[in-house]
Chains A and B, each alone.
Chain A
Amino acid sequence: MESIELQSSGGEWLAGTGPESDIVISSRIRLARNLAEFPFLSKATQKERGQIERRACEALLKAKIAEDMRYHSLPPLSPIDRLFLVERHLISREHALGKGPRGVCLAARETTSIMVNEEDHLRMQGLRSGFQLRTTWEQVDDVDTKLERVLDFAFSPQLGYLTVCPTNVGTGMRASVMLHLPALVMTRQIDKVFQALSKINLAVRGLYGEGTQASGDFYQISNQQTLGKSELEIIETIERVIPKIMEYERTVRENLLEQRREVIEDKVWRAFGMLQTARTINSEETMDLLSAVRMGVNLRIIRDVEIPTVNELFILTQPAHLQKMERSELNSPERDITRATYIRNRLAGRAAGNGSQGDGRGGGKEDRKAK
Chain B
Amino acid sequence: MQCEGCQKNAATVHLTDVSNNTKKEIHLCESCAKLQGVTIKSYLHKSPTYPELLTQLVHSQSEAPADEKDVVCPRCGITYRKFRSTGKFGCPNDYSVFKKGLFNLLEKIHGKVEHKGKVPLRASDQIVKQKELRALRADLEKAVREEAYERAAQIRDRIYGLEGRQGEV
Contacts and interface: CB of A to CB of B under 8 A. Distances in A.
B145 interface: no
Interface string A170-184: 110100000000000
Contacts of A145: 121
Interface in B65-81: 75-78
Contact of B88 (A156, A164, A171, A211): A164
Interface in A1-47: 34, 36, 38-40, 42-43
Interface in B98-148: 102, 105-106, 109-123, 127
Interface residues on chain B, size class: 35 or more
Contacts of B89: 40, 42, 162-166
Interface string B43-86: 00011111110110000000000000000000111100000001
B76 A228 contact: no
A173 B117 contact: yes
A115 to B, nearest CB: 14
Consensus secondary structure, chain B interface: loop
B110 A154 contact: no
Contacts of B95: 156, 159, 162, 169
A152 interface: yes
A156 B115 contact: yes
Interface string A136-166: 0000010011001100111111111111111
Interface string A115-143: 00001000000000000000000000100
Contacts of A55: none
B113 A165 contact: no
Contacts of B121: 145, 148-149
Interface in A53-112: 93-94, 97
Interface of A: 34, 36, 38-40, 42-43, 93-94, 97, 119, 141, 144-145, 148-149, 152-171, 173, 201, 203, 205, 210-211, 224-231, 233
Given A94-B49, A164-B89, 19 more contacts: A40-B92, A43-B77, A43-B91, A119-B49, A156-B96, A157-B123, A157-B127, A158-B113, A158-B115, A160-B117, A162-B89, A165-B55, A166-B109, A171-B118, A224-B50, A227-B106, A227-B113, A230-B118, A231-B118
